[in-house]
Structure 1
Amino acid sequence: MLSIPELAMPKSNTVTTVYNGIREVWTDYEQAKAYYLELMMTTDGEERDRAECVYIQLLHGLDECSDE
C-alpha cells in the first residue's frame, strides 16, 4: 500500500488541448487555463463556445481537453 494516497499526490503539470483541430501540449496547466479564459472573454459566437468548452475541461483537471 502507498504511504501517500494517490489523490493527495500532485498530478502531472502538463495538459494537451485540441482547439480548432490544432493539438497543443502545455507544460504549465495554469498558463493553459489563463490562455483559454482570456480567449473565451475576448471572442464571441462559436469561437467563444469552443474556448469555453476547453476551459471548463481544464477546470475539471482533465489531462486532455478538446473543443468537441
Structure 2
Amino acid sequence: MLKTPELAMPRSNKVTTVCNSKREVWNDYEQAKAYFLELMMSTDGDEHDRAECVYIQLIHGLDECSDED
C-alpha cells in the first residue's frame, strides 16, 4: 500500500490534444483547459462539439485528449 494515495500525487502538467486533426502538446494543463473552454464557448456546430469533447476529457484529467469517438 502506498503511503500517499495516487490521487493526491501531483500529475504531470504536460497534455497532448488532438482536435480537428491538429495535434498539440501543451506544457500547461490549465492553459489547455482555458483554450478549449474559450473555443467551445465561441463556436457552434461541429467545431463546438469537437472542442467540447476535448474539454471534457481535460476536465477528467486525461493526459491525451482527442475529439474522435
Matched letter for residue 29 of structure 1: Y
Structure 2: gaps spanning 5 or more residues: none
Structure 1: gaps spanning 5 or more residues: none
Counting aligned pairs with the same residue, the percent is 81
**C-alpha displacement of 1:2:** 3.9
Q: Secondary structure of 2:12's partner? A: coil
TM-score, normalised via structure 2 length: 0.91
**C-alpha displacement of 1:22:** 1.1
Q: Deviations over 1:4-23 (max 9, x none)?
A: 22221100111000011111
Where do residues 1-68 of structure 1 align in structure 2 (5 Å cutoff)? 2-68=2-68
Cα distance in structure 1, aligned partners of 2:47 and 2:8: 36
Matched letter for residue 5 of structure 1: P
Calculate the aligned-residue CA RMSD, in Å: 1.0
TM-score, normalised via structure 1 length: 0.93
